[in-house]
Chains A and B, each alone.
Chain A
Amino acid sequence: MSGVITDANGQEITDNSFQMSDNSESPVFTIYVRALTNYKLTATTDSITTVLARKTGSGAAFQNIAANPIDLTPFANTVVAYDYKVSAADVSVPRNSRAVRFRCTPNP
């Protein structure tokens, strides 16, 4: 059974593109994930950017999902909303373009 990450309209998300200042955090985006047993939310590591996420409405602190993936098993076979944002470190050039993969995988 394959999964999909969608936006609020149910449209599958293939990418999200935006700009932000260094030493800051991006706005918060909400995604909808079809949770599967043993699957985890994680991200590729990047030297400049960090992907932070938490379950929508949980009130929990955002966590670095590359270092500390979020387990979807407790919500298996349901669609769950998650908030994510990106934190950017300092850059020394005017524009440093990064590509980070937001992953839902059993092998983080």
Chain B
Amino acid sequence: MSSVNYFSEVLPASVAAITTTTATSTCGVRGGATGLARTNTVASARGNIVFALTGNNAVTNTNATSRARLDSEPNVTGTAAATTTTSAAATSLLVNTGNGGMAATSTSASAASFVKVQEEFGFTIFVDVLDSAVSLNGQRRRETRRLLANGVEVPIRSYNYNDKAGEIGRSLSVTLARAYLALLPNNAVWEFQAGIWNGTGYSWLSLLENGKMAGRNRSLSKNDDLTPSDMVEIQIRDGLAEKVTAAPNRPIILYNPDLTEQAPLTDTQNALQDINGAPILPIVEAVAGLDLRTVLNRAYVAGCGFSSVVTNLPNFPVARVEFTLENGYDGGVRNLLALFEPIFDVQNNVLWIIDSDASIPVGTTPADLGINKFVSLNEQIEPKVLYDAMIVSYAERGAGADGEFSTERTETPPSQSANFGTPAYTRTDFVNRFRDFRNVDNPSVVTRSILIEAKKTTYGNGGAVISEEIQRDTYDALARKTGHTRVIKGQVPNLPFRTTSLQTVRSETETIAYAPNPFEAGEFVQSSVTIFEEGLVLIDAENIDPLTDEPQRIPFADARVNFLIVPDSTQTFQTLPIRTVKKQLNALSNGQVNIASEVINHLTNTTERSYSEPVPGSASLGRADKLNQKRVRITTGTNQTRKSASFDGGDLPRTIAVLLGRRNLARLNSPPRTGSVVLPLADFTLRKGVARRLYDRAGAIGNFRIVGLSESGQTTQNGIQTTPTIEIKEAI
């Protein structure tokens, strides 16, 4: 079986109005020399309307056209027009013009159209622009430090400054030069600055701003000569550290409706309450196209108050994120970022999230940090375990995924016969119709299949149809069965005559409902099943129901079995409601399920059965996601002889998970060197994320990124002596 897959896409402007934009694609399948399409041949095409979903303006005159064609066959054409409500629909029609061509079995064509956010790519340039008055082309200038409280300098004796790896915000511990508490104004705003000599004075660079005093130590003591040796030490946290403690007033749950079912509401009975007893329920918000960029903006810009977020992390779809009262906005994002081990830095109120393992581009050489430029270097390599393969787990989008389309096929299982050669011979034929789901990326592969119609026909001796039964199942977008209709036909007397004909004797309609599992986030439960039956009912005017004084009403099947059908009489048949079966399933917190069932007989207007009982087990049907967990094995060569490492990409899509998996595998086999470097003098050009080329006594040992900074200093007769230390991690 061969297939052709062709895809073209026009990506128009995202925010401005889009007019007269067309995306077309064509996919053709050629038949053989006879001009007949071969069996199991699929031609599918997709036409897309592509535009941004946020801040979008009206979309007019935009069409997506798709055409699937079987060679020497009539064309199958579908069209789709985008509406101002930004929806697209497509229809496909197979037309036989009677020109002699016949579609071979299992041959179909389909078209699908959908709306998609535009794609943009690029990279981030991080630039440190240095004041030439102080940078002097690499020569060192005199540096100092000062502490300000509400803009007024507070002399210091010593300090320890930290800008730690993996943290947002800096901390400072300072011993004051004079141990006077009066120097500590209430609710002061603290700032710690680096001063660099520019030839005529100091230019000041803020290392910690909008700081608040987090703690204080004070000691009173005397020296041997009885002079006081009092000390006051304060700890200051900067405003950034305060920002990342931001949390919403109510929990916020963002979910991607394309990837997951609506997040469940909290059980109101056991929900967190305020002081007045009112439940604090989460805000649940569907965000179409929810991805990492959107989550970072919601967390750090809207939530924490940064002016923007800049990152070189790859963007990927996010199924769901939760900002809780306990963990706040920052806590809700960290699990998405943990796999990347990013470096956090803040410049001009812009949060930088830097992938510490991003490779340094060819052609870019970090500045040297030669052996003559540092006091000491500590460098280590973690013990390594060699692997030649890694099993990467990732999430693959299932039902409703972009690019998914369906085809239908019919199967005829073998007939079942009984009592061959006797008057009681019967033969039952089966015809099942399936819907197969495929993806345009790989249309020859069926990703999932559902039975949509099952037909069963029973023939008696002589070939007459005794009964026929057709059941059609329905499913929702998450591939959950939502119900079915079943029609049963049988030989029914054509009253008042004795002759019979095949008629519908009973039809059944089932409806299944689902609800969020109140005890398991992300899962759903089958909450109710309702089955409504109607069918042929024998109306016997000669026998009166003593309770209703109306003709007896007996379902056809019961009447037939009990020989109550009398031709040449006043009996008739009517199609009436017969029975309704209702089942309510309630998940209990102890894992049981309570089933409450009620059967209502419509003919007698009575309740046949009604009961409620708990049963063991759970009604949960698993995570209501459209994401399927998949695994892929990546290797380092062609012959694997060692056990495989594993990497859990969680909900990451395949491309991102494999990228991180390869990086992880490379790191396992060649762990990055880490360490610390003590510098002789303060260097204001250093910050987290900056790369430096390190040297040992033999020469260059590689490129390293600064992942953390610390600095200690003390006031001397010659000014403040600083001892900076940088934490480093080898760059790829």
List the interface of chain A (C-beta within 8 A of B).
1-5, 7-9, 11, 13-24, 26, 29-31, 37-38, 43, 48-49, 51, 86, 88-89, 91-107
A50 to chain B, nearest CB (A): 11
Q: What's the A-B contact tally at a CB cutoff of 8 Å? A: 186
A82 CB to nearest B CB, Å: 12
Verify A104–B358 contact, CB threshold 8 A: no
Mark out the residues of chain B between 389 and 432 whose CB falls within 8 Å of any chain A CB in the assembled complex: none
Given A16-B123, A86-B125, 5 other A-B residues pairs in contact with their CB atoms under 8 A: A8-B362, A21-B130, A26-B127, A43-B125, A95-B128
Bound-state Cα–Cα, A43 to B120, Å? 12
Closest to B357 in A: A14
Interface residue from A7, A15, A89, A105 paired with B125 (Cβ < 8 Å): A15
- Contact flag A14-B9 (CB < 8 Å), given A20-B130, A100-B127, A102-B125: no
Q: Interface digits, B190-211 against A, CB 8 Å rule (1 contact, 0 not)?
A: 0000101000000111100000
Cβ-based interface call for B121 (8 A): yes
Q: Which of A8, A23, A94 contacts B196 (CB 8 A)?
A: A94
Q: Is B119 part of the contact surface with A, judged by Cβ < 8 Å?
A: yes
Interchain Cβ contacts under 8 Å between A and B, 6 examples: A16-B126, A19-B690, A38-B10, A92-B131, A93-B203, A93-B205
Of chain A, the residue at the smallest CB distance from B12 is A106
Which A residue's beta carbon lies closest to that of B127? A98
A102: contacting residue among B9, B122, B345, B364, CB under 8 A: B122
B95 interface hit (Cβ, 8 Å) = no
Chain B min CB distance to A84 (Å)? 9
In the complex, which residues of chain B have a beta carbon less than 8 angstroms from the beta carbon of A15?
Answer: 123-126, 312, 354-355, 358
* B567 on the A face (CB < 8 A): no
Contacts of A7 in B (CB 8 A): 361-363
- The 7 A-B pairs with the shortest beta carbon distances in the complex, nearest first, are A15-B312, A105-B120, A97-B347, A99-B310, A7-B362, A19-B128, A14-B312
B16, B120, B205, B358 — which one has the most chain A CB atoms within 10 A of its CB? B120
Q: Is B134 an interface position by the 8 A CB rule?
A: yes
> A14-B355, A23-B132, A38-B11 in contact; A97/B361 too (CB < 8 A)?
no
B123 and A19 contact, CB distance less than 8 A: no
With both beta carbons as reference points, the residue of chain B lying nearest to A96 in the complex is identified as B129
| Residues of chain A contacted by B194 (CB below 8 angstroms) | 94
B11 touches A106 (CB 8 A): yes
Docked complex: B674-716 residues within 8 A CB-CB of A? 684-685, 687, 689-691
Contact call A94/B131, Cβ cutoff below 8 A: yes
Question: With A2-B119, A101-B122 given, is the CB distance from A11 to B359 under 8 Å?
Answer: yes
What chain A residues lie within 8 Å of B134 (beta carbons)? Answer: 94
CB neighbours of B347 from chain A (8 A)? 97-99
The answer to whether the Cβ of B249 comes within 8 Å of any Cβ in the partner chain is no
**A4-B310 contact given A19-B128, A94-B134, A97-B126, CB 8 Å threshold:** no
In B310-366, the 8 Å CB interface with A consists of 310, 312-314, 345, 347-348, 350, 352, 354-355, 358-359, 361-364
Cα of A65 to Cα of B110 in the assembled complex, Å: 43
- Chain B residues with Cβ below 8 Å from A19 are 127-130, 367, 685, 690
Bound Cα distance A92, B133 (Å): 9
Interface size class of B (residues with CB under 8 A): 35 or more
Q: Complex Cα distance A1/B116, Å?
A: 13
Chain A residues within 8 Å of B314, by CB: 14
**Residues on A with beta carbons closer than 8 Å to the beta carbon of B130:** 19-22, 91, 94-95
Q: For the complex, what is the distance from the CA of A92 to the CA of B198, rounded to whole Å?
A: 11
Nearest chain B CB to A37 CB, angstrom units: 8
When the two chains form their complex, are residues B128 and A97 in contact, meaning their CB atoms are under 8 A apart? yes
Q: A16-B364, A22-B129, A26-B127 are in contact. Are A104 and B689 (CB under 8 A)?
A: no
Whether A29 contacts B310 in the complex (CB less than 8 A), given A94-B130, A94-B203, comes out as: no
In the complex, which residue of chain B has the Cβ closest to the Cβ of A88? B129
Complex: how many Å from CA A15 to CA B123?
A: 5
List of A residues within 8 angstroms of B123 by Cβ: 5, 13-16, 101-102
- Distance in Å from the Cβ of B355 to the closest Cβ of chain A? 6
Contact in complex: A20, B203 (CB < 8 Å): no
Q: How near does chain B come to A100, taking the closest CB pair, in angstroms?
A: 5
Residue of B nearest to A36 (CB): B11
Contacts of A51 in B (CB 8 A): 125
A79 to B15 CA separation, bound complex (whole angstroms): 28
> Given A29-B363, A97-B348, does the pair A49, B129 have CB atoms closer than 8 Å?
yes
Q: In the complex, A103 Cα to B121 Cα: how many Å?
A: 6
Say yes or no: B129 contacts A20, CB within 8 Å.
yes
